[in-house]
Amino acid sequence: MAQPAMTMTGADELEKALMRLERNVGKKVVRKAMRKGAGITRKETRTNAKRMVGGEMGALLAKHVIVKPAKKQRKGSYFLSVMMRPDVAAFVHKAKKSKYPKKKTYIPVAIEYGHDGGMALPFMRQAAASTRNRSFNAIKTSLKTGIEQLSK
């Protein structure tokens, strides 16, 4: 699923303060702040799954939303991905009466983007868009308080 990017601008003083800290301590502060921001999006994604999808599938989707560290794009970077737990057997639908009998459909993707003419219910994209500013502010304040606590 597409992951919306978030770039922090205007945080030069936070970056300078992070550079003054030890490398491992600075990473810990950044990871904690990123988890706090991603937690806001995760909570909203769960709410959207229950509200927009509804029923048994909505509850199953909400139960299996996770925050997972993703592969680093470059040295020193860190980012998290709000995603569906990939190993849930109930999310895979095997087509029985189809011209492709071995075809499997991953249900969360089919719900998010639509499938076979079905309407898309973008519960994850909407959560990412609606929580962008709140997540950004949570990350910023968490970074600031973490740096202040360590610099005392």
In a domain, 113, yes or no: yes
Map the chain to HEC letters.
CCCCCCCCCCCHHHHHHHHHCCHHHHHHHHHHHHHHHHHHHHHHHHHHHHHHHCHHHHHHHHHCEEEEECCCCCCCCCCEEEEECCCCHHHEEECCCCCCCCCEEEHHHHHHHCCCCCCCCCHHHHHHHHHHHHHHHHHHHHHHHHHHHHHC
- Is residue 83 assigned to a domain? yes
Does 110 fall in a domain?
Answer: yes
pTM here is 0.75
Count of structural domains within the chain: 1
The per-residue pLDDT for 151 is 73
State the pLDDT at residue 98.
66
pLDDT tens digits for range 87-146: 888 888 877 776 666 778 888 988 899 887 788 999 999 999 999 999 999 999 998 898
Domain that holds residue 97: 12-151
In a domain, 4, yes or no: no
Is residue 100 a part of any domain in this protein?
yes
Tell whether 97 is covered by a domain.
yes
Residue 3 placed within a domain:
no
